Structure 1
Amino acid sequence: MRWKALVFIALAQLMVVLDATIVNIALPWAQHDLGISDGNKQWVITAYALAFGGLLLFGGRIADLWGRKRTFVTGLVGFALASALGGAAQGEAMMLGARALQGMFGALLAPAALSLLAVTFTDAKERAKAFGIYGAIAGGGGAVGLILGGFLTEYLNWRWTFFVNIPFAVIAAAGAYFVIREPAGSRNRSSLDIPGVVLSTLGLVSLVYGFTRAESDGWSDAVTVGMFVASAVLLLAFVFTESKVRSPLLPLRVLLDRNRGGVYLSLGLAVIAMFGLFLFLTYYLQVVRGYSPVTTGFAFLPMIVGMITGSTQIGARLMTRVRPRLLMGPGFLVAALGMLLLTQLEINSSYPALILPAQLLLGLGMGTAFMPAMSLATHGVQPRDAGVASAMVNTSQQVGGAIGTALLNTIAASATTAYVAAHAAGATNAKLLQAQAMVNGYTHAIWWAVGILAAAATIALTLINTGVPGSAAPTASGSTEGAEDEVQIPVVAH
């Protein structure tokens, strides 16, 4: 029964992850059909990101309080309805509203899915296999979205990038309702922390919007700076509130465990690098090389193959034998090596000789690292906190994605402008110069991504000190969190 449950949990997670990229390829066609202005087109992406990122902690705590299965099914049904609304959109307002609703229900769905996995698979070996599959989907779903988005846009219609979610959601919701059995006694019976909900939601929305606006309006823009200041104030107030209230939205014990803190931080950094890469490679292949949407999607297949292999064949097999940091640290370093290859990108770089091996290394490294990270983020946490601990994983990824897109795109744009200014005088072909400048910008930003991945590896190797899952040997930090609940969620020795 547990493995049947995994099928429906994985299907729902795939739907949420691929939705982050599937709409990107369809955006130009949707913008044209619906008459969305250039100034507002980013809101098709931003409306989803703000609602999803801002409400994740709230969604995670709702799962703990209301029940994970109930929250999961509600999230799926709501996501399907919002997707139908988006596919049927007749104008800009309807589209943006549908995207915001998708984000809201996604914020219910994503943490409920991961926390269901955490409380369902308690045996170390079974947990390794389950999280191997989940990690592969979480890491590779974005690339799957590019392939599916390309197919649907090129051969059907951009509206199908929304409608495709409906069968995913219906199958997952029906399966979850009849198959998933939430362990008894794992729900949190405390009251909801309303001040925490308000402060965390406003703080995360300000942070995500700040980075989104920085990408389009610049880092010195008054509103951008104001958003960052507001975010810092709100999130500090949130932390202070959580330390004082009786039933906090995010118990600080979830964050202050050095292993989970290390996972959230290193995973967030890795996603910064990955989201930037998706953006640059998509533009490089379509704009510089002239690939069609479908061909571009298939060009990402090696990364998907690498992620599935790294997650299910390397991470899952070694997770019960070696410490998580010895998978995460080297995994991020292998990914950094793949990224390092892409710093050699030129206008006519060979796909088989350069881009393919780089993607394989990236996929292998990320798949190997994501798998223990996903498991460790919820392992050892008390069942009553599983939802909010899962939400923190999604939050670190969502915030990392917003930072990666804005930060690396800004670096690339600055390097592109500088290259054009330096070479314009002697240029004889303006189109060639622009292409060379774009590639130069991408390689500059990819160097930053290499450094970010190296930082993620360093954090994983130094902060994460837990032992082999299922072993009883204590480590230096000596944490005993979750010991009282080890029948339901066995404790990783901290």
Structure 2
Amino acid sequence: MMKKWIAVIVLGAAQFVMVLDSTVMNVSISTVVKDLDTSVAAMQSAITFYTLTMAAAMLLGAKLGDVWGRRRAFVVGSIVYACGSLITGLSPNITTLFLGWSVIEGLGAVLVIPAIAALIATNYTGRDRVTAFALIGAVSGAAVAAGPLIGGFVTTYFDWRYVFFAEVVIMVAVLFAARFVADPSRPQKTGIDLVSVALSAVGLVAVVYGLLQSKTWGWILPLHPPVVNGVSIEPLGLSLVPYFVVGGAALLWAFVSRQKHLVARGRVPLIHPALFSITPLRAGLSVLGAQYAITAAIFFVVPVYLQMTLGLDALETGLRIFPLSIALILFSIVGTRLSDRWSPRLIARIAQVVLVVSGAVLLASLSLDLRNVLFAVGMFSTGAALGLLASQLGNVNMSSVGENETSEVGGLQGVFQNLGSSLGTALIGSVLIASLAGSFAAGVQSSDLPSAAKSAVSSATSAGVEIVPVAGVDAIVTKAGLSEDDAATLTTIYADSQVSSLRVSFVVIVLLALVSLVLSRNLPSRPAGQRDETAEVSVDPKPVSSSG
């Protein structure tokens, strides 16, 4: 019995490392900045570029899985990733860390992530496949939730580098165990269209980068535009964000047109455009993107509340998030059990309703003193909802196509995960910062502060209000020349403003869950065991030529 699940254990271990990596770095930023004598801005650039590397090369990585064979791509990607982790752990400066983490690890991930999805689909069928995808989903969610806890503990009591050294050890173990993962597919002797690679890479990078920079540059009107030679870059008085997003979307439209052109001429596309005509797949990818947007938004807002508002450290933050991790794993198993009797659509919609309710509970828990029980209930129910979704979406997507298209769908899943995460982070970051600035300005103007103090605060915050720890506001404003009484008043106003902006952010998360509920209407309406296996659609035409 255990032998049957060796493949999912091996693939799950790789998935855990891939997901854990970025969450660990997020909670270790301040320590890494000090250790490498660099800046927070440089670290944020490294984190952003890690996402961009994956966005740019994910479809190419999926295609290489077809050309080389899925297991070979998995092995090569694991080796590349392990080398990147080792370089990151040994980094003497930010340049080396950028190379090891943002570039080399990112390139390894684009080979591993699509291969994991494809190998699960080819190693398991029927109910076992549903279970395997649920386990992979649970592993991903557990890594997201456990990342702050692991990162906080290791960074606080040991050294942040040990996390990356541990990743090397895990990936070496994965390499030795990869021979237990069957790969019945044969490498395809097909060419890779370089024009398609360029269009997809540049288009995806433009969209993702634009979304990620929106909280800094502003969505439409300039907020903090980039400055070159003392000149702010704001074409036609607008932020650069719409230019990046619209330009990237145009390139992606050109990419899709290119794929149709290649198919019409009998050549091999980077991804078959007919995949987007498969209704269950389209619904599954849309809900997956929404799920990752919600997850990213939650994991942006919750640490801000726990660390910046309440003053908890990284380890305490991880402990408060832990109920989400436990619930996610538990309800991934529950969702798998339910899939024999309930349809993916029903399970997903129950999960999305629970997400809406969870957002409301977390909203009610926000205050300047942590309402432990209410917050824990909100985190647990959020994890339950995400676990139910994780138990369904991978299997829905992979079961929508034939074996020949599993690598391509694995790549598409990676793309939608990146786009969803970027959108969730960008959207919630922009909402949080904008509402914080508005609430703080209104609070200052309606306060009993002297007119001179109000003018000084208004001038100092004219370019926006930064998210800083509430506990440090008193020292900041006292240093700026305000009296102790005025500093105490401003600290109270800022704390209240932060809580108010967090509440607005959770309202947006609830709205995202409602959008996800709408997107789920085209998910399969019958349980997995009752769906006709012939419903899998193969869109892999036999090309008459693989050249050019």
Shorter-chain TM-score range? over 0.9
1:469 counterpart residue number: 528
Q: What SS does the corresponding residue of 1:32 show, helix, strand or coil?
A: helix
Q: How does 1:69-108 map to 2 (within 5 A)?
A: 69-98=71-100, 99-108=102-111
Q: Could you say which residue in structure 1 is the equivalent of 2:252?
A: 235
Aligned equivalent of 2:288: 267
Q: Which residue of 2 aligns with 1:481?
A: 537
Following the alignment from structure 2 to structure 1, what is the Cα–Cα distance between the partners of residues 98 and 539? 45
Measured against aligned partners, the alpha-carbon deviations of 1:391-450 in whole angstroms (never above 9, x if no partner) come to: 111211111111111111100111111111111141652222212211211110110110
- Using the alignment, how far apart are the partners of 1:208 and 1:161 within structure 2? 27
Please say if 1:452 is aligned against 2:454: no
Larger-Rg structure:
2
Match in the other structure for 2:184: 183
Instruction: Name which of 302, 306, 311 aligns with 2:332.
Output: 311
What's the offset of the Cα at 1:465?
Answer: 3.4
Which region of structure 1 is more displaced relative to structure 2, 271-280 or 188-197?
A: 188-197
Cα separation, partners in 2 of 1:135 and 1:336, compared to 1, 3 Å: same
Residue of structure 2 in register with 1:421 after alignment? 441
Which residue is 1:244 aligned to?
261
Alpha-carbon displacement from aligned partner over 1:346-385 (angstroms, at most 9, x marks no partner): 3334443221000111111111012110111111312221
Identity %: 24
| One-letter code aligned to 1:319 | S
Aligned pair in 2 of structure 1 residues 154, 249: CA closer, same or farther (>3 Å)? same
Describe the shift of the 1:326–1:226 C-alpha distance in structure 2 as closer, same or farther (beyond 3 A).
Answer: same
Partner of 1:357: 377
Structure 2 stretches lacking a partner, 5+ long: 223-233, 235-239, 449-487, 542-548
Distance 2:215 2:88 in 1: 25
- Structure 2 equivalent of residue 379 of structure 1: 399
Could you tell me which amino acid in structure 1 is paired with residue 171 of structure 2? A
CA displacement at 1:280 relative to structure 2 = 1.2
Is the deviation greater in 402-411 or in 214-223? 214-223
* Residue 286 of structure 1, CA deviation: 1.4
Distance in 1 between the 2:191 and 2:64 partners? 10
**Corresponding residue for residue 484 of structure 2:** none
Tell me which of 44, 47, 51 is aligned to 2:46: 44
Q: How far apart in 2 are the matches of 1:365 and 1:372?
A: 11
What are the superposed Cα offsets for residues 22-53 of structure 1, whole Å, 9 maximum, x if unpaired? 10011111112222234323112111110012
More deviation, 218-227/52-61: 218-227
The amino acid of 1:183's aligned partner reads P
SS at match of 2:190: coil
Per the alignment, residue 314 of structure 2 pairs with 293
Take 2:413 and 2:97, find their aligned partners in 1: how far apart are those partners?
Answer: 28
Match of 1:114 among 117, 130, 133: 117
Gaps of 5+ in 1: 486-494
User: In the alignment, what sits opposite 2:277?
Assistant: 256
Residue 21 of structure 1 is matched in structure 2 by 23
Contact 2:218/2:241 (<8 A) preserved: yes
Aligned partners of 2:272 and 2:540 also within 8 Å: no
Say if 2:383 is the partner of 1:323.
no
| Letter of the structure 2 residue corresponding to residue 237 of structure 1 | A
Partner of 2:497 in structure 1? 437
- Tell me if structure 2 keeps the 8 A contact 1:84–1:162: yes
- Retained in 2: the 8 A contact 1:128–1:317? no
Confirm or deny: 8 A CA contact 1:36 1:92 kept in the other structure: yes
Superposition deviation, residue 262 in structure 1: 0.5
Q: Which moved more, 1:30-39 or 1:50-59?
A: 30-39
**Are the equivalent residues in 1 in contact too, given 2:359–2:378 (CA < 8 A)?**
yes
2:386 corresponds in structure 1 to 366
Structure 1 161/226 Cα, relative in aligned 2: closer, same or farther at 3 Å?
farther
Q: Pick one of 340, 365, 368 that aligns with 2:360.
A: 340
User: How do residues 402-421 of structure 1 correspond to structure 2 at under 5 angstroms?
Assistant: 402-421=422-441
1:345–1:443 contact (8 Å) kept in structure 2: no
Contact 1:328 1:370 in 2 (8 A): no
- Partner of residue 226, structure 1: 243
Runs of 4 or more consecutive aligned structure 1 residues displaced over 6 Å after TM superposition? none
C-alpha distance in 2, partners of 1:445/1:323? 32
Structure 1 residue 230, shift from structure 2 partner: 2.0
Q: Return closer, same or farther for 1:228/1:263 CA change in 2, 3 Å cut-off.
A: same
Distance 1:184 1:420 in 2: 59
Q: Is the 8 A contact 1:331 1:368 kept in 2?
A: yes
Cα displacement string for residues 263-295 of structure 1 (whole angstroms, at most 9, x for unaligned residues): 111111121121111111112111221212111
CA offsets 1:90-132 (integer angstroms, 9 cap, x no match): 122111112221111111111111110011101x221122122
AA aligned to 2:403 is P
How far did residue 233 of structure 1 move?
Answer: 1.5
